[in-house]
Amino acid sequence: MTEWLGTHPWIAYILIFVLITYVYNKVFRTRRLPVLKAAIIYLMLGLGSLMLLFFQLAGLPIVLSMSVAVALMFMVKIRYFFQDRAAKK
């Protein structure tokens, strides 16, 4: 998969940006920011995604690592859902 993403850098960049944005929104964003500050944050996320894209193109499994992080976050969310559901019964 790393080779395929190496030959398709735009898809790799979009995947990295989407995954890093999801992690930011679920972990670090506590409240809504004003529009200009939010735009600056997403611009910085885009620049950080560009740096991670260079690592991806160098052969490091950045997309796979970010996918594992998002999958673990999703598993924790499912666990909390079932805990809340069991507590309501």
pLDDT in tens, 17-64: 999 999 999 888 888 889 999 999 999 999 999 999 999 999 899 999
How far CA 1 is from CA of 5, 25, 72, in Å, comes to 6, 26, 20
Cβ atoms within 10 Å of 36's Cβ, excluding its own: 8
What is the reported pLDDT for 7?
A: 81
Which two three-digit tokens encode residue 54?
Answer: 């260079």
What is the reported pLDDT for 5?
A: 76
What is the reported pLDDT for 4?
A: 80
Q: What crossing angle do the helices spanning 62-88 and 9-23 adopt, rounded to 10°?
A: 30
CA 36, CA 19: separation in Å to the nearest integer? 22
